[in-house]
Amino acid sequence: MNDDQWVAGISKKDAGRYSRQLLVDDFGVSGQKNLKNLNVLIVGAGGLGCPVATYLGAAGIGTIGIVDYDHISLDNLHRQVAYKEDQVGKSKAQALADNIKLQNSDLNVQVHNTSLDSSNAMQLFKNYEIVCDCTDNVATRYLINDVCVLLNIPLVSGSALRWDGQLSVYHYGSDCPCYRCLFPSPPDPNSVTNCNEGGVLGPIVGVIGSMQALEVMKIAAKVRTTLAGQLLLFDGREGKSRTIRLRKRDPKCEVCGDNPTITAPIDYVLFCGAGAHDKIENLKLLELSDRVNVTEYRNKRREQKPVLLDTRPSLEFEIAHLPEAINVTLKECRSLSAEDISNRLGLQNTEHSDVFVICHRGNDSQRAVLLLREKLVDIKFRDIIGGYEQWALKINDMFPLY
Ligand SMILES: Nc1ncnc2c1ncn2[C@@H]1O[C@H](COP(=O)(O)OP(=O)(O)OP(=O)(O)O)[C@@H](O)[C@H]1O
Ligand SMILES: [Zn+2]
């Protein structure tokens, strides 16, 4: 036999590039080859989508599809670390594709600069073998789940809020539940907090997104210890994680059960309740006569210093507030007595009978007015339409928008 004869399991170029992965037991050459032949779809190019795409791209996945309709904004950069300042305003799907291609020019990246909905999801998903849910709203979560079940695609699902994150692999293997097996009906839209309200720390989405990428690599390499049928809960504040075993597939599940009633994508916004898809609800609880717009409020404060009650959580109050604002959170409006609220606002010894109420976007301020009216009947409470957001947009563009 000649000295220059050998059997190559992998190309010389790939052996060099991916050598540290090839040396990992249970992954090796077969895992690498499987990755190279894999088509993975990432839905959502935000906090989770950035690490998922970056690690999968670097690891040498054959084809990565990226779906997102949104554009990069400045307040994305603290956690969506794949993006640069000069990409603010650009399409997320395109920018993420460009960035991972720069890192690994061998990748085939498909950009889907669109909103995923019932009309396009089946067509879009059918070209992929694994889907990663990196989105942030319940309606899209059910849509992605159902379409994965209908097309028999495993789903690697992550979520993160504040200090916490969780992930699981759904619909992978015969006993494995789907998202709908565990949550047959959607949560009350009013109880859902997303990171645009509750906030989230960058490293939390970094941890969860990296773990989603790892689950994809494990599925590709046929490693048996995936998170299928389990839910990993990560508590970043305590630095702890735990994994809980989930119930098995529910034979009565409407989509993956023995007699499914959902055989094609449904109307998910209707199913989840109005507001579930919109990040910013726009409540109209009050008559217009009980409300003022920001221009009217500006004129009032030019005449005399008004009493302004700010219902936002104290963390938001600390970010910025008008100098006259007094922080009584919505929770406190509920729990405090009429006397305590009156004291906090300094109403006891004054002639004031008008109080204006402000919040971030004009939803909680209306809820507060309804509560306060009952407690302090002699005071006229009026909310400021659109809250601080409108103040920043229409009155003072130096006021911090968040
Ligand atoms: N139906 C959908 N189709 C396409 N992309 C979606 C869909 N639903 C959510 N997304 C995308 O998922 C991503 C989720 O990212 P993330 O949770 O970091 O929030 P964000 O929207 O970027 O930021 P913020 O919530 O602070 O405004 C977003 O880029 C969003 O546009
Ligand atoms: Zn199910």
Q: What is the pLDDT of residue 85?
A: 97
By DSSP bridging, strand 240-245 and strand 291-292 are unpaired
Q: With beta carbons less than 8 A apart as the criterion, state whether 356 and 309 touch.
A: yes
Q: Is 195 in the pocket of ligand 1 (CB under 6 A)?
A: yes
Q: What is the pLDDT of residue 190?
A: 63
User: What φ, ψ does residue 355 adopt, rounded to 5°?
Assistant: -130, 130
Q: ipTM higher than 0.95?
A: yes
For residue 232, give the 3-state DSSP assignment. Answer: strand
Helix 49-59 vs helix 92-103: angle between axes, to the nearest 10 degrees?
30
Q: Is the pLDDT of residue 103 over 70?
A: yes
d(CA 290, CA 250): 49
Name the band, by pLDDT with cuts 50, 70 and 90, for residue 277. Answer: very low
Q: What is the largest CA-CA distance in the chain?
A: 104
For residue range 151-178, list pLDDT tens digits in order: 999 999 999 999 999 999 999 998 999 9
For residue range 333-386, list pLDDT tens digits in order: 999 999 999 999 999 877 778 999 999 999 999 999 999 999 999 999 999 999
d(CA 41, CA 225): 22
Q: Where are the domains of the chain?
A: 38-272, 288-395
Token match 């960035």: residue? 99
Q: Is the pLDDT of residue 74 over 80?
A: yes
Name the band, by pLDDT with cuts 50, 70 and 90, for residue 195. Answer: low
Which superfamily does 38-272 belong to? NAD(P)-binding Rossmann-like Domain (3.40.50.720)
Q: With beta carbons less than 8 A apart as the criterion, state whether 146 and 180 touch.
A: yes
Mean pLDDT (whole number) for 78-87? 97
Q: What is the pLDDT of residue 149?
A: 98
Nearest Cα residue to 290 out of 190, 387, 373, 395: 373
C-alpha of residue 140 to centroid of ligand 1, in Å: 10
Q: What is the pLDDT of residue 193?
A: 66
d(CA 189, CA 184): 15
**pLDDT > 90 fraction of the chain, expressed in percent and rounded:** 84
Mean pLDDT (whole number) for 24-31? 94
Cβ atoms < 10 Å from Cβ of 139: 23
pTM: 0.82
Alpha-carbon Rg for the chain, nearest whole angstrom, is 26
Among all ligands shown, which has an atom nearest to the Cα of 165? 1
For residue range 222-255, list pLDDT tens digits in order: 999 999 999 999 999 999 999 999 999 999 999 9
Q: Is the pLDDT of residue 72 over 80?
A: yes
Residue of 50, 195, 272, 333 marked active site: 195
Mean pLDDT (whole number) for 249-262? 97
Q: What is the pLDDT of residue 36?
A: 96
Among all ligands shown, which has an atom nearest to the Cα of 155? 2
Q: Is 65 in the pocket of ligand 1 (CB under 6 A)?
A: no
d(CA 94, CA 42): 13
Ligand 1 atom nearest to 140, measured from its CA: 1
Residue 92 annotated as part of some ligand binding site? yes
CATH architecture classification, 288-395: 3-Layer(aba) Sandwich (3.40)
For residue range 281-317, list pLDDT tens digits in order: 567 788 888 999 999 999 999 998 899 999 999 989 9
Q: Is 317 in the pocket of ligand 1 (CB under 6 A)?
A: no
Q: What is the pLDDT of residue 278?
A: 47
Contacts of 343 (CB under 8 A, 6+ apart): none
Name the band, by pLDDT with cuts 50, 70 and 90, for residue 279. Answer: very low
d(CA 396, CA 123): 46
Q: Is the pLDDT of residue 5 over 60?
A: yes
C-alpha of residue 364 to centroid of ligand 1, in Å: 23
- For the chain, give the mean pLDDT: 93
Name the band, by pLDDT with cuts 50, 70 and 90, for residue 194. Answer: low
What protein residues have CB closer than 5 angstroms to ion ligand 2? Answer: 178, 180-181, 253, 256
Ligand 1 atom nearest to 75, measured from its CA: 26
Q: What is the pLDDT of residue 3?
A: 74
DSSP 394: I
Name the band, by pLDDT with cuts 50, 70 and 90, for residue 118. Answer: very high
